[in-house]
Homo-oligomer: A and B are copies of this chain.
Amino acid sequence: MTDTPQTDTHADAVEVAGGRLIRTQGVTAPAGFRGAGIAAGIKASGKPDLALVFNEGPDTAAAGVFTTNKVKAAPVLWSQQVLTAGALRAVVLNSGGANACTGAPGFQDTHATAEHVAATLSDWGTETGAGEVAVCSTGLIGDRLPMDKLLAGVTEIVHELAGGISGGTDAAYAIMTTDTVPKQAALHHADKWNVGGMAKGAGMLAPALATMLSVVTTDAVATAAQLDEALRAATRLSFDRLDVDGATSTNDTVLLLASGASGVAPSQEELNAAVLAVCDDLADQMMADAEGVTKRVTVTVAGAASESDALIGARTVARDSLVKTALFGSDPNWGRVLAAIGIAPITLDPDRITVSFNGNPVCIDGVGAPGAREVDLSGEDIALRIELGVGDAEVSIRTTDLSHAYVEENSAYSS
């Protein structure tokens, strides 16, 4: 692991959702899960590119949320099909290739990968069917995966797991693409059950789901239906509210697996809160590591007629290239904010809009406030708040500025 950056150690625990959340642990924090990450040779760089998350049980309940893009990668089509049964024994993930737009042969590659994971786990002693193995891929769209390397890697990684290594962090490294740091979070609930997660995603961040892969695990006792409710609610309020460039990937996948190993069955509300806390923290880490980010921006639309209006308004501003380039330039150009919100298809009155940057009012009732051009936005964190004054709904969207580095990273090579 010497060729990759160290885990970002925001290790200070945060009290949230009835437990303590830390960033130094991930998918193997809950009991009953093993993980591993290796370099299988899929990436030309030789960096880690294959990860496995294995559920030892006793339960195998699971749920998934997938991209809404009509162009879906082969592993998404496969995993959606697998999840209809509501159970997963393992998730295999590769970076170095998205296996998207690869036609029927690409789907056969995904199927073969799941079959090989199942067979190797069965050989090891845990009877597993291919229909209990989800597959996730990330990387360049359009190329077939090097199946010889991938299948050999599967054999190797199952042997690593069998060696008793609990490598959640290794798995988090192995799914990175343009990420500069792995993203992990684990919540240790006061009632002796746990939720852990890992995520990758730095470019193409948008709804529904930021272009991303994420696996979340828990040792709580929960049915597939309970997991599905918790996961949908959590992604709606976390990953779906991270919007860097309005792009939506062909491969977005978020999975939630429960082992039941804690023996504790939390209430639906407790489960929802814990899964949300982990997803929200992972989304925050993804924003901070987004491609070319120089500013971490939260766009809040308040006083909207409905939550839907607030969400659409915040998203419209968060995606506006002219707002984002102004923020890159630390320019409190509130006129662009008004121009942006004005094209959102929502209820608004131009003469009642109030805008503030980091708490400093720059526009009141649609007209510039004194000193608006002098507000200092030179720091890395910008809170942009837009009060519509037509209702009570409020939604925040995480986004970034539009920088030279974003253009560089996305133009200099195929990714």
Is A71 touching B141 in the complex (CB atoms < 8 A)?
no
Cβ-closest chain B residue relative to A353? B71
By secondary structure, the A interface counts as loop
A334 contacts B142, CB within 8 Å? yes
A411 within 8 A of B: yes
- Which residue from chain B places its CB closest to the CB of A411 in the assembled complex? B329
Q: How large is the interface on A (under 10, 10 to 19, 20 to 34, 35 or more residues)?
A: 35 or more
B-contact 0/1 string along A337-356, CB 8 Å cutoff: 01111110000101101000
Question: Could you tell me the distance between the alpha carbons of A249 and B326 in the complex, rounded to whole angstroms?
Answer: 15
Contact partner of A69 (CB less than 8 A), chosen from B339, B368, B403, is B339
Across-interface contacts of A338 in B (CB, < 8 A): 71, 100-101, 141-142, 250
* B71 and A321 within 8 A (CB): no
Q: How far is the CA of A235 from the CA of B413 in the complex (A)?
A: 37
CB nearest to A204 among chain B residues: B322
Are A98 and B68 neighbours in the complex by a CB distance under 8 Å? no
Across the interface, A366 reaches (CB within 8 A) one of B101, B329, B404, namely B101
Structural contact, B321 and A414, CB atoms closer than 8 A:
no
Contact A103 B366 (CB under 8 A): yes
* A142, A245, A373 interface centre (most CB from chain B within 10 Å): A142
A17 within 8 A of partner (CB) = no
Q: Mark A313-347, 1 if CB is under 8 A from B, else 0.
A: 00000011110011011010111101111110000
**Contact indicator B413/A339 (Cβ below 8 Å):** no
Interchain CB contact under 8 A, B366 and A335: no
- Check A119 for interface membership: any CB of B closer than 8 A: no
A410 interface residue per 8 A CB criterion = yes
Taken together as a complex, chains A and B put the C-alpha atoms of A331 and B409 apart, in Å, by 12
Kindly state the separation between the CA atoms of A340 and B100 in the bound complex, as whole angstroms.
Answer: 13
User: By the criterion CB–CB under 8 Å, are B250 and A342 in contact?
Assistant: yes
The answer to whether A143 and B368 have CB atoms under 8 Å apart is: yes
Given contacts A101-B335, A101-B367, A141-B338, contact A350 B72 (CB under 8 A): yes
Nearest chain-B residue to A211 (Cβ)?
A: B339
**CA–CA, A106 to B70, complex, Å?**
47
Q: Do A406 and B367 touch (CB < 8 A)?
A: no
With contacts A339-B250, A407-B402 known, is A413 near B331, CB below 8 A? yes
Q: A121 at the A/B interface (Cβ < 8 Å)?
A: no
Q: Is the CB of A367 within 8 A of B325?
A: no
Report the minimum CB–CB distance from A76 to chain B (whole Å). 11
Q: Is the CB of B247 within 8 A of A322?
A: yes
Q: What 1/0 mask marks residues of chain A from 146 to 173 whose CB sits below 8 Å from any chain B CB? A: 0000000000000000000000000000
User: What are the residues of chain B within 8 A of A365 when measuring CB–CB?
Assistant: 103
A322 contacts B404, CB within 8 Å? no
Known: A247-B339, A250-B342, A363-B142. A321 touches B410 (CB 8 A): yes
Cα separation A81 to B404 with both chains bound (whole Å): 42
List 12 other contacts, CB 8 Å, given A103-B351, A250-B338, A250-B342.
Answer: A68-B343, A141-B334, A142-B334, A142-B368, A247-B320, A248-B342, A250-B339, A321-B402, A321-B410, A328-B411, A331-B411, A403-B407
Q: Top 9 A-B pairs ranked by shortest CB distance?
A: A141-B335, A329-B411, A71-B342, A325-B410, A69-B342, A103-B367, A142-B368, A245-B321, A325-B411
Q: List 15 A-B contacts (CB under 8 A).
A: A69-B339, A100-B339, A101-B366, A101-B367, A102-B368, A103-B367, A143-B368, A247-B320, A250-B342, A325-B407, A326-B414, A329-B411, A402-B407, A403-B407, A404-B407
